């Protein structure tokens, strides 16, 4: 089965971002993908952190959710919808939520980002907790490939989250890694999550210089259970595509049964 990640360089206009996302989803479908993941913050990378609050939706209703459901249904693909802003009980904050839709456009699951990014150096400062409420629940969903686990961006740095997902065939990570942190750690962490969980990892990223001046790292990629990068895109819009072969997973787990050899188990 072919899977794909969509890489974008989103701006502050949700309608323009929707048009770009639809074009890229159609391209991934044309290339044969049956599961496609969008990046974090694909609908809006605003001029201010608070801009995403203005386009937040109630869960179950809104143009962004309708767009994702309709695209999944019309293209007959499973769409992992990157992240969209969903309203929380705190009026000045949102949930950074990943919604997954099946080939009929039906919602499969919702995952709210648990770990909120905080970073400051001489020139950059990010504090997601100012505008985002953290999620509390690990989420996976069933797919013809098997169990699929979900993380979002900064979650990548917390291996216990991925361990707690259990035996997954695929783990998916929409992201908007900064250029600074991505250049240092992105590929290392993605390959580590694939190797230690002996499963495929798909990462769909923002990648380039945005209207607000922020530069994201990009390098969307698909990694196999041995840690090999099967496809990658450095910067700019585009598609990353690879075939998932579960026989590879079975062979690796048989040759090196590390998951069976675990002594310490995650306590989450």
Reply yes or no on whether 29 is catalytic: no
Is the Cβ–Cβ distance between 111 and 90 less than 8 Å? no
Active-site hit among 40, 57, 235, 237? 40
Active-site hit among 113, 128, 199, 232? 113
C-beta neighbour count of 264 within 10 angstroms: 6
What single DSSP character describes residue 268?
-
Scan for tokens 């069933």, then name that residue: 142
Is the Cβ–Cβ distance between 221 and 190 less than 8 Å? yes
Handedness of CA 127, 131, 137, 141 (dihedral sign): negative
Q: What tokens were used for 221? A: 């990629």
d(CA 106, CA 122): 45
Reply yes or no on whether 153 is catalytic: yes
Rg (CA), the chain: 17
* Residue among 89, 96, 100 nearest 65 (CA): 100
Q: Is 107 exposed, middle or buried (0-12, 13-18, 19+ CB in 10 A)?
A: middle
Residues with Cβ within 8 Å of residue 33, at least 6 apart in sequence? 2, 3, 4, 77, 239, 241
CA 199 from centroid of its chain's CA atoms = 16
Q: 118: helix, coil or strand?
A: strand
Active-site hit among 29, 34, 57, 153? 153
d(CA 84, CA 97): 5
Reply yes or no on whether 40 is catalytic: yes
d(CA 34, CA 37): 10
* Catalytic center residues: 40, 113, 153
């Amino acid at each position: 089965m072919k899977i794909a990640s969509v890489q974008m360089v989103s701006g502050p206009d949700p309608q323009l971002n929707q048009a770009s996302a639809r074009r890229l989803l159609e391209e991934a479908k044309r290339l044969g993908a049956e599961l496609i993941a969008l990046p974090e913050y694909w609908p809006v990378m605003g001029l201010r952190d608070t801009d995403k609050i203005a386009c937040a939706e109630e869960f179950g209703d809104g143009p962004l959710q309708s767009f994702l459901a309709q695209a999944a249904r019309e293209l007959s693909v499973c769409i992992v919808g990157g992240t969209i802003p969903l309203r929380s009980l705190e009026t000045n904050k949102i949930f950074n939520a990943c919604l997954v839709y099946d080939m009929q456009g039906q919602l499969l699951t919702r995952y709210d980002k648990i770990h909120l990014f905080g970073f400051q150096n001489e020139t950059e400062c990010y504090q997601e907790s100012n505008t985002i409420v953290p999620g509390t629940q690990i989420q996976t969903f069933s797919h013809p490939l098997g169990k699929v686990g979900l993380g979002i961006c900064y979650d990548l740095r917390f291996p216990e989250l991925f361990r707690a997902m259990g035996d997954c065939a695929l783990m998916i990570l929409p992201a908007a890694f900064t250029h600074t942190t991505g250049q240092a750690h992105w590929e290392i962490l993605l390959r580590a999550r694939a190797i230690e969980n002996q499963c495929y990892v798909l990462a769909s990223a923002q990648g380039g210089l945005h209207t607000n001046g922020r530069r994201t790292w990009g390098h969307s990629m698909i990694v196999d259970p041995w840690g090999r990068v099967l496809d990658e895109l450095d910067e700019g819009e585009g598609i990353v595509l690879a075939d998932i072969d579960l026989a590879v997973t079975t062979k690796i787990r048989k040759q090196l049964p590390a998951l069976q050899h675990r002594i310490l188990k995650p306590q989450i």
